[in-house]
Chain A
Amino acid sequence: MIQARNLTKYYGAKAAVRDVSFYVDKGEILGFLGPNGAGKTTTMRILTAYMPPSEGVVKVGGFDVFTDSMEVRRQVGYLPESVPLYTDMTVWSYLDFVASLRKVDNRARRVKDVLGKVDLEDQASTLIARLSKGMRQRVGVAQAIVHDPQVLILDEPTIGLDPKQIIEVRELIRALGGEHTVILSTHILSEVEQICNRVLIINKGQIVAEDTPARLTARLEGGERVRLQTVQAPADAVEILQALPETDKVTLIASNTFEIECCEGTDCRPALAQVVVEKGWGLLELRAVDISLEDIFLELTADQIVQQ
């Protein structure tokens, strides 16, 4: 659905995005993950045909963003990070305006449908200026989907929302995936874990990793990491556990709680359970720990920080 090849964008002499290539399949939800200023917004602005790339080719639905800009715009729905709306209009008149610019047939019905999708039917005649941040966000999503676009591009769609609104917007995005191809950017790691099928990690204008959230985690895991908690443990417990052939590294993270890295390719949990039972420490908890995207992200970007 979307293809970017060697995409580069300069602002003056400075490259905001450098030689980035990626693709997005139909119905996929792709997450752009990266710190602020990584080049996420620039990439999205190019995908929406707002600005042309300095170098490289970007195609949306088979159309080039530069030479077929109008066709690309017809296929794309876009919500910028700041959720810019005309605050002097009512929700209904604003969506009707966008729908008429987007040449939507049977406008009144479509606007009504979309208001239903974002759960704003009862706010149709409210001035946008009077809406809460969360409601504005939903109006923003509504204007992006009013023409039923193939591709939906959402820049930081949950920023500035309260926890309840974040959950609502995430659910809305998940519901839109499948029907639409969705690209969303975020700097919140748990967000991509929850919503996206695939993640692109961007830092300083370049892609540093690309995979499914689960596989990225697996890829960076050496041996499995295990957390162990017991009722009691002697002072030399760390040494005892370390001595086991299955364990690689043992750290005491709280009293009677250990984090243990198993040797690569082995699961050390049976051995740990046996030791704890034999020594009579009283087993409370023994579970595998997932590496969070936070860890992955720090690991991937650490090299670059060191290079500087």
Chain B
Amino acid sequence: MNTLIITKRELTAFFVSSIAYIVGAAFLFITGLFFFFTVSLSGVATLSQVFSVISTVFLFIAPVLTMRLLAEEARLGTLELLLTAPVRDWEVVLGKFLAAFIFFLVMLLPTFYYLFVLTRFGTPDLPVTFSGYLGVILLGAMLLSIGILTSALSANQIIAAVLGVALSLAFWLAGSLGSTFEGPLGDLLGYLAAQEHFVDFLRGLISTANITYFLSITVAALFLATRVVEIKRWH
């Protein structure tokens, strides 16, 4: 319940801040552009290129959406008031995460229009499209939770965003690094690589292992963010 109260406040804050509109507009502009070029040039009725673009763009956009959430509250001191209300630390973190996640889903909504256009002029593979959306949503949740974590770590929004991009890129590209190592370390890096898990969804392959991967990283990042908030208030 407390979580939802915080989610509601944060969502309202998203929609009154200009950054949300700038980020949303940039997101739609880039995905729209790619949709136009890939579909009109290749002539194939598929959204998989758009999903690839969304994943890349979102690596940079997610930390910008989340950078304010905890960093700004720590800087302004409003976190102190929030944490002296009868609210648990995890409720604050989860509430903020949900707000960013809902905003992300709202941002995705207009991309259904691309799908509508495809169905008018071609026959897209709907199960594969659905699988792609699922992958994008899971990846989005993971990137946002990483952004929440870095926002908890720094009271400076810019540092939070830069850290978030760095950490997201590290997860995204861990696979290329993993392939240079042999043995367990290479395997581990290969497993941690978000990209490897994500491409399966674009091929229409929904596996429990991949879903588990994204959910585990999301939960782990939110858990760590909660611990950071807790540790910071004790010092």
Contact = CB atoms under 8 A, between A and B. Distances in A.
Interface of A: 11, 45, 48-52, 70-71, 73-74, 76, 78, 80, 82, 84-86, 88-89, 93, 97-98, 100-103, 143
A204 to B, nearest CB: 20
Nearest to A97: B9
B57 interface: no
A52 B233 CA distance: 9
B184 interface: no
B95 to A, nearest CB: 10
B155 to A, nearest CB: 13
A94 to B, nearest CB: 9
A51 to B, nearest CB: 5
A143 B80 CA distance: 13
Given A52-B234, A88-B13, A101 B87 contact: yes
Given A73-B85, A88-B16, A101 B5 contact: yes
A155 to B, nearest CB: 10
Nearest to A127: B16
B17 interface: yes
B183 interface: no
A71 B233 CA distance: 18
Nearest to B73: A84
A80 B81 CA distance: 8
A101 B85 contact: yes
Contact of A51 (B17, B79, B81, B233): B233
Interface in B49-107: 76-88
B9 A73 contact: no
Nearest to A49: B84
B120 interface: no
Nearest to A143: B81
B2, B6, B9, B88: residue with the most chain A Cβ atoms closer than 10 Å: B9
B80 A73 contact: no
B77 A82 contact: yes
B12 to A, nearest CB: 8
Given A51-B233, A52-B234, A88-B17, A73 B84 contact: yes
Contacts of B234: 51-52
A100 B9 CA distance: 11
A50 B84 contact: yes
Contacts of B81: 78, 80, 84, 98, 143
A151 to B, nearest CB: 12
Contact of A70 (B9, B76, B78, B86): B86
A84 B77 contact: yes
Interface in B1-37: 2, 5-6, 9, 12-13, 16-17
A100 B77 CA distance: 20
9 contacts: A50-B84, A51-B233, A52-B234, A70-B88, A78-B81, A78-B84, A80-B81, A84-B81, A101-B87
Contacts of B9: 86, 89, 97
B78 A98 contact: no
Contact of A80 (B12, B77, B85): B77
Contacts of B2: 101
The residue in A73, A84, A88, A89 that gathers the most chain B C-beta atoms within 10 A of its C-beta is A84
A73 B85 CA distance: 6
Nearest to B2: A101
A86 B85 CA distance: 15
Contact of A84 (B5, B76, B85): B76
Given A11-B235, A86-B13, A50 B80 contact: yes
A84 B86 contact: no
Contacts of B233: 50-51
Contacts of B86: 70-71, 73-74, 101-103
A103 B87 CA distance: 11
Q: Most B CB atoms within 10 A — which of A74, A86, A97, A101?
A: A101
